[in-house]
Amino acid sequence: MRRLLRALAATGLLVSGSLVAVALGGNASADTQICEQYGSTVIGNRYVVQNNRWGTSAQQCINVTDTGFEITTQNGSNPTNGAPTAYPSVYLGCHYTNCSPGTNLPIQVSQISSATSSITYRYVSGAIYNASYDIWLDPTPKTDGVNQMEIMIWLNRQGPIQPIGSPVGTATLAGRTWEVWRGSNGSNNVISYVAPSPITSLNFSVLDFITDVRNRGAITNSWYLTSIQAGFEPWQGGVGLAVTSFSAAVNGGGTPPPTTPPPGTGCAVTYTPNSWNTGFTADVRITNTGSGTVNGWTLTYQLPVGQQVTNSWNATVSQSGSTVTARNLSWNGTIAPGGSASFGYQGTLSGAYASPTSFTLNGVPCAAA
């Protein structure tokens, strides 16, 4: 169903309202067939398998086993320049209020000590599809609706289909080099890792991909992992595609990467605003006035009433109530003595404009320059 919102947003057809997820089904026995559009069941008393046919009115059926599922009927067919017909998948965590039994998700990224998974696929010829492993994250511990960040791992791509956005480079993760794509579908941001050739099985660290996305400035350690899913997005054909085995485990007890506070009160913040009737921008410069190097920075302060951050650059900026938290990106976290780091953002304004007056860097008060 997440894919449905993505497609509607991309075509301008997304309207206010909600989609209703099918209630969690019972535990599956061998050869349980699901043809209901959003039908689901539990396997291994741990994971949920869902049919999730959202992109076509044609019938799709899946055969659920105790370790995965197989597509047995796929009558839908969509153009390759649009959305797929479905996302039959197996997952751990929560999907539109349908949570897997006993899950510890959502869990804050900073609290994850390890997140691992193993997946085995069976592919077919003559169809257009991808084999996709999805990792969903959000600034809040939400269990319903669309999350703000979707990580897609494309283990196989057949036909003239491509990820959302455009290529931004490569990454070496799980012992392989992936082509990285980045974009937005109108309802959430997407970073995709595309394998250069089909991968039939993978045993890997989910946390490594989350860390790479965090280092790209797309999320922070305060975000929440809500679910991890594996399945297929078929555009045309797909009977016989199967997830033959799936396992995943997310363990807590982690801690965020360390930051180095500025020595004493050795920091200063210069805040330069530009406001108009209904909005404003602000350029913020952090200067290290101490004798030691700052390695990783988090700047917090209070915005006056009537100001709301809408977008930012050169930092990950979030707002909760009046409290703003700005964190460095992967490339600007080090501030040498006498050096500085800058970022900016845009916001909406209601009422008279005023600038914040006090700032804290890594828990240490800074002078307002």
Instruction: Show which residues are catalytic.
Output: 150, 233
Strand-pair partners of 156? 131
Write the DSSP symbol of residue 78: -
Task: Give me the DSSP letters along 134-184.
Answer: EEEEESS---SS--SEEEEEEEEEESS---SSEEEEEEEETTEEEEEEEEE
Name the residue with tokens 């153009």.
79
| Whether the Cβ atoms of residue 213 and residue 66 lie closer than 8 Å to each other | no
Task: Give me the DSSP letters along 311-359.
Answer: EEESSEEEEETTEEEEE--TTS-EE-TT-EEEEEEEEEE-SS------E
Gyration radius (Cα) of the chain, Å: 23
Strands 189-194 and 149-158: parallel
